[in-house]
Amino acid sequence: MEINTLRNREFIVAILKKIQEKIKKINYSPKIMEVCGTHTMTIHKFGLRRLLKDSGVEMLSGPGCPVCVTPNEIIEAAIDLLSNHENLILATFGDMTRVPTRKGSLMTSTPAKGSFKKIIYSPEECLLLAKENENKEVVFFGVGFETTIPSIAFTVKKAYEEKISNFSLLSALWLIPPPLKSIVESKDINIHGFLYPGHVSTIIGKIPYEFIAKDYKIPGTITGFEPGDILLGINDILDQILEDKPSVTIQYKRVVKEEGNPKARSLMYEVFEEKDANWRGLGLIPKSGLKLKEKFSQFDAEKKFGFKIKAQSKDLKGCRCGDVLKGLISPLECPLFRKACYPESPKGPCMVSFEGACLAYYKYGY
């Protein structure tokens, strides 16, 4: 498939025209939340937020940035591990090392003797690290949504099968449907449609979103990452509004199947089970996170190193990432944005992560 076609100006103009015609019939400006952080990036990179606003559609960024929703207490626990334990390798994804907390960031922290942090691309790399460093403990600070969780489950299961004893997991694993329920139940905000995340949905399929259409009558579509995908998705949501038939459609059919990826899902639930979890901004959400099952508890870093993470969510003073993640404010309404918070000296994760709304606004304009 020619990706350029989905970026073709002629197509974009034609779909926008259709969108404008539909908005006239709807007679109000619908608020549509793009749940996924990579959608936020596409929307800004290609100037769609402005084009859509001028066409009568208001886009709101959602909670779909795993680095952003991870509360400071987990990052501080990672910093403590690295600073207090000798001969420990703390492996994690790049963005995670730059998130500022009251204890600094993983980047600025001073590792204990013989310890260091390691930025990795695939969770599986941790097992190689563990084998190459038998005298050190490798802790994987694993952060992610359903897209990433199966690869982490694969890694834990492999560690179990290969009896790798110097590997453990500090997990910040998040499920996407539960916070959407919190958002639609919140009285602070009225959302008329959801662009559901493309790659989370390759794993979970469309069924987990159906309660939003059935119980809350809000339209939605699973969409891809090209500008044409985003606009086709919005066009689909507008059709659902016009026909008064809220449902969950799949615009990104070339990649997402209705049933998702059962193989990846069964691996995920072989290794992990659901738990109540504390999200940045959104607070405690029932069954919205994952923890290792008893069979794999030997790989739980909290148990191995004898600490317990308590929900406290103390953000840096003035940082309003939490409200940005709920769609309550745009980054422009945060008093720190472009005044005290920059990509080089971020005050919160939304300015750090490549999926963060504040970075998207900063980098590409608005």
Partner 1 sequence: MCLGIPAKVIEIRKDNTGKVDYLGTKIKVNFSLIEDVKIGDYVILHAGFAISKLDEKEAQETLSLLKEFIDK
Name the site residues for partner 1 (rule: CB under 8 A).
1-3, 5-6, 8, 10-11, 14-15, 18, 36-38, 41-42, 93, 121-125, 144, 147-148, 150-151, 154, 197-199, 202-203, 224-226, 228-229, 232, 251, 253-257, 261, 263-264, 267, 354-355
Provide, rounded to whole angstroms, the least separation between the CB of residue 306 and partner 1: 29
Round to whole Å and give the CA distance between 363 and 176.
Answer: 26
Phi, psi of 289 (to 5 degrees): -130, 175
SS3 labels along 16-52 = HHHHHHHHHHHCCCCEEEEEEHHHHHHHHHCCHHHHH
- For partner 1, which is the closer residue by CB, 46 or 211? 46
> Min. distance of Cβ 180 from partner 1 in angstroms?
18
H/E segment holding residue 74? helix 72-84
Can you tell me the distance from the alpha carbon of 83 to that of 20, in angstroms, rounded to the nearest whole number? 55
b/e burial code for range 132-171 (CB count within 10 A of at least 16 → b): ebeebbbbbbbbbbbbbbbbbbbbbbebeeeebebbbbbb
- Shortest Å, Cβ 84 to partner 1: 28
Least Å from the CB of residue 176 to partner 1: 13
Cα(258)–Cα(241) distance, integer angstroms: 22
Q: Report in angstroms how near the CB of residue 266 gets to partner 1 at its nearest.
A: 10
- Give 7 or 338: the residue with its C-beta nearer to partner 1: 7
Three-state DSSP at 264 gives helix
Closer residue to partner 1 (CB): 119 or 340: 119
Q: Which is nearer to partner 1, 227 or 289 (CB)?
A: 227
Read off the tokens for 358.
Answer: 């504040």
Burial environment of residue 283 by CB neighbours within 10 A (0 to 12, 13 to 18, 19 or more): middle
For partner 1, which is the closer residue by CB, 21 or 86?
21
CB closer to partner 1 out of 85 and 199: 199
Q: Which is nearer to partner 1, 88 or 230 (CB)?
A: 230
Residue 155 to residue 131: CA distance in whole angstroms: 13
Q: Which single residue is written with the structure tokens 């600025």?
A: 108
Closest to 191 (Cα-Cα) out of 32, 26, 29, 23: 32
Q: How far is the CB of 264 from partner 1 (least distance, A)?
A: 4
Which is closer to partner 1, CB of 44 or CB of 199? 199
Residue 217 near residue 192 (C-beta atoms within 8 A): no
CB atoms inside a 10 Å sphere around CB 306:
7
Name the minimum Å distance from CB 327 to partner 1: 20
Shortest distance, CB of residue 257 to partner 1, whole angstroms? 8
